[in-house]
Amino acid sequence: MSKNPPKFQAYSPGIQSLLPMLYVAWADRVLSPSEVQLLESKMSKLTFLTEKDKSLLKSWCNPSRPPSRELFQHWRIVLKNAATKMLSEKRESLVDLGLEIAKKSSREENGQYWSNPETREALEELEISLGLIHIKTYEELFPPNRQNEFIASSFEIEKMTQLLDDDFGEIRRRMRVLLSDPIFKYKTLRDKKDYRNRILEWCTHLAKQGLGALSYPKEYGGEDDMGKYATVFEMLGYHDLSLAVKFGVQFGLYGGSILFLGTKRHHNKYLKDTGSADLLGCFAMTETGHGSNVRGLETTITYKPENQEFVINTPHEKAGKEYIGNALHGRIATVFGQLIVDGENHGVHAILVPYRNENGNLLEGIRVEDCGYKVGLNGVDNGRLWFDEVCVPRENLLNRFGEVDENGIYSSPIQSPSKRFFTMLGTLVGGRVCVPSAGLSAAKSGLAIAIKYALKRRQFGPSFTEPETVLLDYPSHQRRLIPRLAKAYALDFGLTYLRKRYVNRIEEDIREIETLAAALKSYATWFTTETLQECREACGGKGYLSENRFADLKADSDIFTTFEGDNTVLMQLVAKGLLTKMKEEFHDEGTRGVLRFLANRAFTSVAEKNPITIRNTDRDHLLDSEFHLNAFDFREDQLLYSVSQRLRGHIKNGKRSYDAFLVCQTHLIALAEAYAERIILEKFIDAVEECEDINLKTILKKLCDLYALSTIETHKGWYLEANYMEGVKTKAIRRLVDKLCKNIRQEAGALVEAFAIPDELLSAPIAT
């Protein structure tokens, strides 16, 4: 505690008028000799200063005795307050600020003096002499939260949006306008009944716009356009995910089951009303006891020839249908169960079962229970259904892949029960194409909010005289957000590719697309969960307030990793798909094929694993997309080859196939991940190569490099173990990732702006 503390409150208005300049002059904690000279000579001429003022000022112009930390802090507070109050007005200079404070602190009768032009002139002369007029204004000292200040960029944002919009620009623009309509404004409805009604209302609005039926044939009000439908679902991911899921259940799952598993008779009877949301239905596949293992469903669909009817039965409590969306609003359900005809079980089939009449009353033999509150998606009415010997007409069987005729004879265009089962399940692929896109939209919203906030939020600073540091200038903050921003871009290209493959699919591609969809669905939804968590934390306490949207974004998207196929289960399917493909490729040649594969591998080793390459830390090499792709390929191939060898070994040693796969489970999942990462990288590299706008290309290349290198960094342990890289190289990669983060940080605002999420949808106050 200093013995003679400077007295702030006692300052005269004259002293106060000079405070802004004193503050700035001392801001670097150094008062240069010329500054000292200037201050002393100019100040002595100021007529409004008393002798006492002058001697006080002189004491502050002693370069060896800078003002105490506490005094400076106080100056800062006073100046900042005054500055904050002035921000809406046009004044800009330090003189204005000084005059303002002086005016306020002087008595009423003298206030006039500080509006006097001569006073201003005298102060301005001082300001010019100190060279302050160009270097600092009070706005620079205490920068206000300026909107759009962060979206300076080296590329045209709109062009980037166009590029991301791909072939679906028109429907995307339409959705942006539509969802910004006041009718879709968010409203907190904590009670599930209210919230569900609101979502139903919104869903109906979408149907009225013709959006529900988009993927249906034109004769049923649709456009026969699966790509557009998937894009609508993706765009709903920027809005309320309860709406997205309700929409997906009604038009995609339930409607899709009629479209894909039914035939003309079902289309004619149901599709129009389904697309218009006049007939609400649900997709009753999952049971409490069997979710992932659909083949083990226990509900029975037994044919009764005497009445030409099917009897739907839930054999015991845990065979009840579980988590069924639309269960409380719906009137009809596509029920999956074991089809039993004349004592023979033909495996899982689907049948339409009306369960409420037009007044909404439950039909006989039906029990429905509300699933209650969930982590999120509380605007979706999930419920449980049980069927007690419920009879429906024979025609209700969705009979595209299995029919029972008037004589009670079962027939199917697919002879193998196993193939039939997987064909029917293939109808789920549509969901797996849509879900990751909506998940990515949620992740992009989170990134947009966190990055916009990180560009204006300041906390801590180099000294109490300088502005605090912007969050996104912290390397740890960059590490949290920028690689995820790059991955969001990467996934965008990957998912656009998946959508196109799915929309334009031909029979032979189906299995490959199923593998692709399963891999990207899992990879993207895990990314969503992890990214939203990181973004919430990056926004601190503000991220915890519901108004800033992470509450809903996180809670609603959390189930994306589980529904439409649990990610862990899907990743194993992916690995099995890759193994099957490998086997088929070898099929013609038997062991020789494997040997050739091995020879290829050996070649890779020679080419890529030579002592120079594994230690190569040249920037050009590390930023070479061919190096990235080779590294990704190597990882995938190596995992594929090693797991196939392990499986073969186990089976040779007498393990059953099931047990062999069980033992290799984590290995299989790693393989699936490597596959997903490689595909995404390929599509990103393609996009960079195809891009013609040089500015876009430049920033996209950086994002692609960051995606590639940060992914390699994540797996560096694996690469080092495999001797594909040495420590010197992985360390160089780490440094390069840091550099890319720092570099891309400059355009981070523009890059999230390019997602073109309307303010009405983003909505978070911290992001405006």
Report the site for its own copies in 664-703 (rule: CB under 8 A).
665-666, 669
Cβ nearer to its own copies, comparing 41 with 580: 580
Q: DSSP character for 49?
A: -
Give the whole-angstrom CA distance, residue 16 versus residue 79: 10
Contact criterion met (CB below 8 Å) for 132 and 94: yes
**Cα 243 from chain centroid?**
17
**Cα 640 from chain centroid?**
29
Q: Which stretch binds its own copies (CB under 8 A): 3-11, 31-39, 42-50, 573-581?
A: 3-11
Contact criterion met (CB below 8 Å) for 500 and 230: no
Q: Which stretch binds its own copies (CB under 8 A): 176-184, 393-401, 406-414, 599-607?
A: 406-414
Give Cα separations from 213 to 230, 259, 277, 349 (angstroms).
11, 11, 9, 24
Cβ nearer to its own copies, comparing 590 with 717: 717
Q: Which stretch binds its own copies (CB under 8 A): 34-42, 426-434, 489-497, 655-663?
A: 655-663
Give the whole-angstrom CA distance, residue 79 versus residue 68: 16
Q: Is 29 left (phi over 0), alpha (psi -120 to 50) or beta?
A: left
Q: Taking the complex as a whole, how short is the minimal distance between the CB of residue 241 and its own copies, in angstroms?
A: 13
Cβ nearer to its own copies, comparing 600 with 723: 723
Joined together, the tokens standing for residue 86 give 């002035």
Cβ nearer to its own copies, comparing 513 with 660: 660
Q: Taking the complex as a whole, how short is the minimal distance between the CB of residue 629 and its own copies, in angstroms?
A: 21
Give the whole-angstrom CA distance, residue 674 versus residue 737: 20
Cβ nearer to its own copies, comparing 37 with 145: 145
Bridge partners of 410, per DSSP, are: 404
Q: Taking the complex as a whole, how short is the minimal distance between the CB of residue 335 and its own copies, in angstroms?
A: 16
Residues 505-544 contacting its own copies, CB under 8 A: 529, 533, 536-537, 540-541, 543-544
Q: Judged by CB under 8 A, which of 32, 37, 41, 84 binds its own copies?
A: 84
If binding is defined by CB under 8 A, does position 619 make contact with its own copies?
no
Query: Among residues 328, 377, 372, which one has the least CA distance to residue 195?
Result: 377
Q: Taking the complex as a whole, how short is the minimal distance between the CB of residue 387 and its own copies, in angstroms?
A: 14
Q: DSSP character for 467?
A: P
Cβ nearer to its own copies, comparing 101 with 171: 101
Residues 448-467 contacting its own copies, CB under 8 A: 459-464
Give the whole-angstrom CA distance, residue 325 versus residue 184: 21
Q: Judged by CB under 8 A, which of 32, 55, 59, 188 binds its own copies?
A: 188
Q: DSSP character for 379?
A: T
Give the whole-angstrom CA distance, residue 44 versus residue 59: 13
Q: Which stretch binds its own copies (CB under 8 A): 41-49, 494-502, 631-639, 719-727?
A: 719-727
Pairing of strands 300-304, 309-313: antiparallel
If binding is defined by CB under 8 A, does position 70 make contact with its own copies?
yes
Q: Taking the complex as a whole, how short is the minimal distance between the CB of residue 540 and its own copies, in angstroms?
A: 5
Contact criterion met (CB below 8 Å) for 157 and 750: yes
Residues 135-164 contacting its own copies, CB under 8 A: none
If binding is defined by CB under 8 A, does position 169 make contact with its own copies?
no
Q: Judged by CB under 8 A, which of 120, 367, 374, 500 binds its own copies?
A: 374
Cβ nearer to its own copies, comparing 210 with 461: 461
If binding is defined by CB under 8 A, does position 615 make contact with its own copies?
no
Q: Taking the complex as a whole, how short is the minimal distance between the CB of residue 459 and its own copies, in angstroms?
A: 5
If binding is defined by CB under 8 A, does position 405 make contact with its own copies?
no
If binding is defined by CB under 8 A, does position 559 make contact with its own copies?
yes
Give the whole-angstrom CA distance, residue 709 versus residue 369: 49
Mask for 226-265, x = binds its own copies (CB under 8 A):
----------------------------------------
Q: Which stretch binds its own copies (CB under 8 A): 35-43, 103-111, 221-229, 724-732?
A: 724-732
Q: DSSP character for 307?
A: G
Q: Taking the complex as a whole, how short is the minimal distance between the CB of residue 251 and its own copies, in angstroms?
A: 22
Q: Judged by CB under 8 A, which of 315, 360, 467, 649 binds its own copies?
A: 315
If binding is defined by CB under 8 A, does position 10 make contact with its own copies?
yes
Query: Among residues 584, 763, 764, 623, which one has the least CA distance to residue 706?
Result: 623
Q: Taking the complex as a whole, how short is the minimal distance between the CB of residue 313 and its own copies, in angstroms?
A: 10
Q: Taking the complex as a whole, how short is the minimal distance between the CB of residue 367 and its own copies, in angstroms?
A: 17
Number of residues that bind its own copies (CB under 8 A): 108
**Euclidean distance between the first and the last CA atom of the chain, given in angstroms as a whole number:** 43
Query: Among residues 51, 48, 63, which one has the least CA distance to residue 18?
Result: 48
Residue with tokens 């899709």: 256
If binding is defined by CB under 8 A, does position 77 make contact with its own copies?
yes
If binding is defined by CB under 8 A, does position 654 make contact with its own copies?
no
Residues 278-297 contacting its own copies, CB under 8 A: 286, 290-293, 296
If binding is defined by CB under 8 A, does position 74 make contact with its own copies?
yes
Cβ nearer to its own copies, comparing 218 with 316: 316
Q: Taking the complex as a whole, how short is the minimal distance between the CB of residue 563 and its own copies, in angstroms?
A: 7
If binding is defined by CB under 8 A, does position 375 make contact with its own copies?
yes
* Sign of the CA dihedral with 76 first, then 79, 83, and 84 last: positive
Q: Judged by CB under 8 A, which of 65, 316, 419, 739 binds its own copies?
A: 316
Cβ count within 10 A of residue 210:
13
If binding is defined by CB under 8 A, does position 300 make contact with its own copies?
yes
Contact criterion met (CB below 8 Å) for 699 and 752: no
Query: Among residues 490, 502, 488, which one has the least CA distance to residue 687?
Result: 490
Cα-Cα-Cα-Cα torsion 53, 55, 57, 60, nearest 10 degrees, comes to -150
Q: DSSP character for 311?
A: E
Query: Among residues 246, 235, 111, which one has the least CA distance to residue 175?
Result: 235
Give the whole-angstrom CA distance, residue 254 versus residue 277: 11
Residues 331-360 contacting its own copies, CB under 8 A: 338, 340, 342-347
Residues 729-768 contacting its own copies, CB under 8 A: 730-731, 738
Q: Judged by CB under 8 A, which of 88, 361, 407, 415 binds its own copies?
A: 415
If binding is defined by CB under 8 A, does position 30 make contact with its own copies?
no
Give the whole-angstrom CA distance, residue 65 versus residue 525: 59
Give the whole-angstrom CA distance, residue 495 versus residue 499: 6
Q: Taking the complex as a whole, how short is the minimal distance between the CB of residue 458 and its own copies, in angstroms?
A: 8
Q: Judged by CB under 8 A, which of 113, 186, 474, 586 binds its own copies?
A: 474
Residues 561-580 contacting its own copies, CB under 8 A: 561-563, 566-568
If binding is defined by CB under 8 A, does position 50 make contact with its own copies?
no
Q: Taking the complex as a whole, how short is the minimal distance between the CB of residue 322 and its own copies, in angstroms?
A: 7
Give residues with Cβ within 8 angstroms of 352, minimum separation 6. Answer: 258, 262, 266, 270, 332, 333, 334, 335, 392, 396, 397, 398
Q: Taking the complex as a whole, how short is the minimal distance between the CB of residue 409 and its own copies, in angstroms?
A: 10
Cβ nearer to its own copies, comparing 157 with 553: 553
DSSP H or E segment with residue 323: strand 321-324
Query: Among residues 515, 351, 518, 350, which one has the least CA distance to residue 421?
Result: 350
